[in-house]
Amino acid sequence: MSKRLLVFGAGNVADVVSYYFKSDSPYEIAAFVVDGEFLRETSFLGRPVVAWEEAQQTFSAEEHRIFVALGPQEHNQLRASKLALVEAAGYEPVSYISSRSGIPSILSFGSNCLILEHQAIQPGARLGKNVFVWNNVLIGHHSFVGDNCWLDSMAAVGASVTVGDGTRVGINATVADKKRIGTSCAIAPGAVVTHHLPAGATVHAPQGIVTPAQAAL
């Protein structure tokens, strides 16, 4: 028998998350949940969309689990705040781990994590809660990724690295071994981090040179 799931969010991230839960989990999505002020449509992907205030009355915490499917806005703090909200209301958050993730069976991770296909997460690595790991990410052995982080596809985190809470590591970005990344950092796509980063730091990658079409002829 399928387990009943609420998905907090009704945007692109929720769209992706719903595909994975429907195709590769024991959960059946009962409804999508949004803050009442953002309720614009009554259905999404064939399921009802309900205001959070109504959801608590209609979909009991005893019979439903929940997944917060929001993006990395505000250094992932929007997603973190909604996770705290649903936990305070008594709902149990679940994680989605792809059956094709290839992660070690001993991997330690918290609630409301998303780990998609084809990972290279090595033994000894640990993840906090509310960590989103997109496709084809490397997390080296004995590294720790803190709460509320977001690792885009093809990101590479070396061995014995600490990634602080709320940090985003962009597509094809690389963090060298044994580096300490502070909280709420932003590592841009293609950037290479070879030094420790203080909290709130942003690392940019060199930009490619764009040649106008006419000049290239």
| Among candidate residues 43, 64, 94, the one where a domain is terminated | 94
Q: Among 66-70, 95-99, 105-109, 209-213, which is the least confidently predicted range?
A: 209-213
Which of 52, 59, 63, 67 minimizes the C-alpha distance to 18? 67
CA distance 34 to 39: 6
Say if residue 151 is in the same domain as residue 181.
Answer: yes
In a domain? residue 203: no
CA distance 167 to 68: 17
126 pLDDT tier (thresholds 50, 70, 90): very high
Range of the domain at 46: 3-94
Which of 117, 194, 113 minimizes the C-alpha distance to 154? 117
In a domain? residue 205: no
Look at residue 115 and tell me whether its pLDDT is greater than 70. yes
pLDDT tens-digit map of 161-193: 999 999 999 999 999 999 999 999 999 999 999
Look at residue 151 and tell me whether its pLDDT is greater than 90. yes
pLDDT tens-digit map of 26-45: 999 999 999 999 999 999 99
Say if residue 53 is in the same domain as residue 130.
Answer: no
Q: Pairing mode, if any, of strands 144-145 and 162-163?
A: parallel
Which CATH number characterizes residue 73's domain?
Answer: 3.40.50.20
214 pLDDT tier (thresholds 50, 70, 90): low
In a domain? residue 217: no
pTM of the predicted protein model: 0.94
Output 88 or 209, whichever has higher pLDDT: 88
Look at residue 2 and tell me whether its pLDDT is greater than 80. no
Say if residue 28 is in the same domain as residue 63.
Answer: yes
> For the chain, how many structural domains are there in total?
2
pLDDT value of position 216: 47
Lateral strand order in the sheet of 150-151: 96-97, 114-115, 132-133, 150-151, 168-169, 186-187, 202-203
If you average pLDDT over every residue of the chain, what do you get?
A: 95
Say if residue 53 is in the same domain as residue 42.
Answer: yes
The whole-angstrom distance between residue 187's C-alpha and the CA centroid of its chain comes to 15
210 pLDDT tier (thresholds 50, 70, 90): confident
- The mean pLDDT of 95-117, rounded to a whole number, is 96
Look at residue 119 and tell me whether its pLDDT is greater than 80. yes
Look at residue 111 and tell me whether its pLDDT is greater than 70. yes
